[in-house]
Amino acid sequence: MWSMITRQFMTGIVTLLVVITLTFVLLRLLPGGPFDQERALPPAIKANMEARYHLNEPLWAQYGYYLSNLVRGDLGPSYKFKSRNVSDIVADATGISARIGLIALIAGTAAGLFLGALAGIVRNRFWDGLLTFIGVSSISTPSFIFGGCLVLLFALTLRWFPAATLSSPKHYVLPILTLSLVPFSYAFLLIRTTVREMRHQQFVQIKRSFGLDEGRIALRHILRNSLLPLVSILGPITAAIITGSFAVEFIFAVPGLGKHFVTAVSNRDYTLVMGITIVYSVALILFNTLTDIVYGYLDPRFRESTKASE
Nearer to another protein, 148 or 255 (CB): 148
Measure the CA–CA gap between 187 and 194, rounded to whole angstroms: 11
Tell me the closest approach of the beta carbon of residue 96 to another protein, in angstroms: 17
Nearest to another protein of 96, 190 (CB atom): 190
Q: Are 134 and 115 in contact (CB under 8 A)?
A: yes
Pick from 97, 109, 180, 281: which binds another protein (CB under 8 A)? 281
Residue 98: which of 237, 245, 231 has the closest Cα? 245
296 binds another protein (CB under 8 A): no
CA dist 262 → 23, 234, 245, 265 (Å):
14, 25, 11, 5
Point out which span in 25-33, 34-42, 50-58, 82-90 binds another protein (CB under 8 A): 25-33
Residue 85: beta bridge partners? 77
Furthest-apart CA atoms within the chain: distance in Å: 87
- In the complex with another protein, the residue whose CB is nearer, 43 or 294, is 294
255 counts as binding another protein under rule CB under 8 A: no
**Interacting positions 30-49 with another protein (CB under 8 A):** 30
Other beta carbons within 10 angstroms of residue 281's beta carbon come to: 18
Task: Give least dist CB 143 to another protein, A.
Answer: 7
Q: Give the residue with the Cβ less far from another protein, 51 or 91.
A: 91
Among 104, 150, 251, 272, binds another protein (CB under 8 A): 251
CA distances from 302 to 8, 194, 214, 229, 293 (A): 15, 19, 29, 13, 11
Give the contact letters, 100-139, x = binds to another protein (CB under 8 A), - = no. Answer: ------------------------------------xx-x
Residue 18 bridge partners (DSSP): none
List the one residue from 3, 5, 6, 26 that touches another protein (CB under 8 A): 26
- Whether residue 288 contacts residue 200, with contact meaning beta carbons closer than 8 Å, is answered with no
d(Cα 177, Cα 181) in Å, to the nearest integer?
7
**Cβ within 8 Å of residue 238, ≥6 positions away:** 105, 283, 284, 287, 288
> Does 242 contact another protein by CB under 8 A?
yes
* Residues at the site binding another protein, with contacts judged by CB under 8 A: 11-12, 14-15, 18-19, 22-23, 26-27, 29-30, 136-137, 139-145, 148-149, 151-152, 156, 185-186, 189-190, 193-194, 196-197, 200-201, 229, 232-233, 235-236, 238-239, 242-243, 246-247, 250-251, 261-262, 265, 273, 276-277, 280-281, 284-285, 288, 292
